[in-house]
Amino acid sequence: MTQDELKRKVAEAAIPYVKGVGIIGIGTGSTTRHFIELLGDFKADIEGAVSSSEASSELLRKIGIPVLDLNAVGTLEVYVDGADEINPNKQLIKGGGAALTREKIIAAASDKFICIADGSKCVDVLGAFPLPIEVIPMARSYVAREIVKLGGQPVWRENCVTDNHNHIIDVHNLNILEPTKLEAIINNITGVVCVGLFSARPADVVLVSRGEEIVTF
C-alpha cells in the first residue's frame, strides 16, 4: 500500500467515531483531507464542522458541510486530526501543515481527540520531526535565540504565513524526553503563539494504519 492509501484507510477507520455526532472538530493535512472527503457520504446527518484551517474549511464547504465558529458551538464531542509524530503515550508533534494553533484550540475544546495516521508517524521518543512553533513575526529572531539556549536548532519556515498571519520556526535536533515540561517552557517564551507539542492535552484515541491492519491505542 502507498502512504496515501494508508492515510485513506485510517481515515475510513475514524468514520464510526463520528457517526451520530452533529458538530465535528476537523483538523488539517492530507490524512484529514481523506477524512473530510469520506464525510461527504453522510453529510445530510452532519450539522456542521469546526475547522482548524482555511484549507480544511474550503474543502468542507466544497462538499457541502457548513463551517461553524467554535465560539458559537461550545464544547465539541469529537475532534479528528492527523499528526507528524506520535509516541506511545499519545503525545504528538503537530504543525507540519502550519495549522498547530487552531488545532490545539480545537483539541482543548473537545471531549475526545481521535488522531489518525499512517504507521510511519509512530516513534518511541518525539523530536526527529522538527518541532513547529508559531511565533509573532517580530519575535521570530528572539524566539530562535531562546530555542538555541534550550539545545534546539531553529529554522525559519520561509514563505509560510499561518492563517493567523504569523510565522513558523521548525526546531531540529530535539530529543523530547519530557514533552509536557518542554511544551510549558516553549509556550512561556515571549512571542510564542503556540508550540506544536500536544502533550498536556494528548490524543485520546490513536488509529494507525499498518498494511491492511488498523492498530488502535
Active site residues: 103
Report if residue 85 touches ligand 5RP, rule: CB under 6 A: no
Which residues inside 14-33 make contact with ligand 5RP, applying CB under 6 A?
Answer: 27-32
What's the start-to-end Cα distance of the chain, in Å? 22
CA-to-CA distance for 123 and 97, rounded, in angstroms? 19
CA-to-CA distance for 39 and 52, rounded, in angstroms? 16
Report if residue 130 touches ligand 5RP, rule: CB under 6 A: no
CB of 115 to ligand 5RP, least distance (A): 8
CB of 93 to ligand 5RP, least distance (A): 8
Nearer to ligand 5RP, 95 or 202 (CB): 95
Nearer to ligand 5RP, 54 or 142 (CB): 54
In the block, residue with C-alpha cell 469520506: 38
Q: Give me the 94-123 binding string for ligand 5RP, x by CB under 6 A, dash otherwise.
A: xxxxxxx--x--------------------
CB of 161 to ligand 5RP, least distance (A): 14
Name the packing angle between helices 54-63 and 30-39 (round to 10°): 20
* Secondary structure letter of residue 189 according to DSSP: S
In the block, residue with C-alpha cell 488502535: 216
Q: Quick one: 205 exposed, middle or buried, by C-beta within 10 A (0-12, 13-18, 19+)?
A: middle
CA-to-CA distance for 205 and 128, rounded, in angstroms? 22
Main-chain dihedrals φ then ψ at residue 145, nearest 5 degrees: -65, -40
Which residues inside 175-194 make contact with ligand 5RP, applying CB under 6 A?
Answer: none
Report if residue 57 touches ligand 5RP, rule: CB under 6 A: no
CB of 149 to ligand 5RP, least distance (A): 26
Query: Which residues lie near ligand 5RP (CB under 6 A)?
Result: 27-32, 81-84, 94-100, 103
